[in-house]
Amino acid sequence: MNHTPAQSRTVWVAQAGQCSSTSDNISAEIPVALVYNGISHVVLMATPANITELALGFSLSEGIIENAEQIYAIDVSEHQHGIMVEIELASAAFSRLKSRRRQMSGRTGCGLCGIDSLAAVQPELKPVLRTEHINFSIIGQVLTDFNQCQQLRAQTGSVHGVVWADMFGRIVTVREDIGRHNALDKLIGWGLRTKVDWKQGFVVLSSRASFEMVMKSAITGIGCIVAVSAPTTYAIDLAHKANITLVGFARCNRQVIYTHPQYFHP
């Protein structure tokens, strides 16, 4: 079965006392099962695109692997009810996974489903190493181009977008998904495959800056997060500890900086 990111469906539009049928592009949402060394670990509800990158990014941002070399193979197969991703892990990574294995459900919501203790919510994180400073005008430049590069959202209106921008304000790549966590994981997976230097740019989120979005960025080594919506207090606290510059309510001519403003200059 061919799973596509957007599907055409018949809809009925009621307007001015009339009802007529038309076609509309709808975002696909399907189960994606991640299986590590033959053991099912999690089922994500996701957009069926960039699935290999989703598996790579999820594996890193969830602490299952420490680098891409700990994944020996990824096999993606489509089934009637979803997609199965079989991942071959190095023995050290698989042992670590088994020692703290938990059952989780899809992550289109809070992103902490399956956590079984308060202590497990916030892992020990090393502060992100920073060397570069970002110009305020660069963020505005990226935001100007942000909407135009979200093609799936333009078709369906129901997905989140995440972009990686370089220090010159150029959008390098974009990933989209119904889940904001999935979109970020896809971007992280792309970065692992292309060996991106996370110090030389920043991410822009179409969503709010939640705790887990900051946590995934911290684990990856991303030093600056720009969100078009608001952050939470937990996200701010974690960004402060992780030496991440967190920007919210980002607009072309105005941004709110919540942590580490010293990495910006006019």
What single string gives the DSSP state of each residue in the chain? ----SEEEEEEEEEETTEEEEEEEEEE--EEEEEEETTEEEEEEEE-SSSHHHHHHHHHHHTTS-SSGGGEEEEEEEEETTEEEEEEEE-HHHHHHHHHT---B---SSSS-TT--SGGGTS---PPPP----EEHHHHHHHHHHHGGG-HHHHHHS--EEEEEEETTS-EEEEEEESSHHHHHHHHHHHHHHHT--TTSEEEEESS-B-HHHHHHHHHHT--EEEESS-B-HHHHHHHHHTT-EEEES--SS--EE-S-GGGEE-
Phi, psi at residue 227, to the nearest 5°?
-115, 140
CA separation for the pair 175, 220 (Å, rounded) = 16
Highest mean pLDDT out of 106-115, 152-161, 190-199: 190-199
Burial class (CB in 10 A: 0-12, 13-18, 19+), 220: buried
Say if residue 123's pLDDT is above 90.
Answer: no
Asked about 224 being catalytic, the answer comes back as no
Class of domain 30-119: alpha beta
Q: Is the separation of the CB atoms in 178 and 48 below 8 Å? A: no
Query: What pTM did the predictor assign?
Result: 0.90
CA separation for the pair 178, 85 (Å, rounded) = 18
Q: So where are the chain's domains?
A: 30-119, 134-265
pLDDT at 118: 55
Q: How far apart, in Å, are the Cα atoms of 244 and each of 25, 47, 239, 261?
A: 37, 28, 5, 10
pLDDT at 3: 83
CA separation for the pair 162, 229 (Å, rounded) = 13
Residues annotated within a binding site: 249-254
When pLDDT is cut at 50, 70 and 90, the band that residue 108 belongs to is very low
pLDDT at 147: 85
Which residue matches tokens 């001015």?
16
pLDDT at 105: 40
pLDDT at 106: 44
Write out pLDDT tens, residues 126-162: 899 988 888 888 999 999 999 889 988 888 888 999 9
Query: Which of 110, 113, 149, 224 is labelled catalytic?
Result: 110
Average pLDDT, the chain: 89
Class of domain 134-265: alpha beta
Write out pLDDT tens, residues 211-239: 999 999 999 999 999 999 999 999 999 99
Q: Which residues face 25 on adjacent strands?
A: 8
Judge if 30-119 and 134-265 fold alike in CATH terms: no
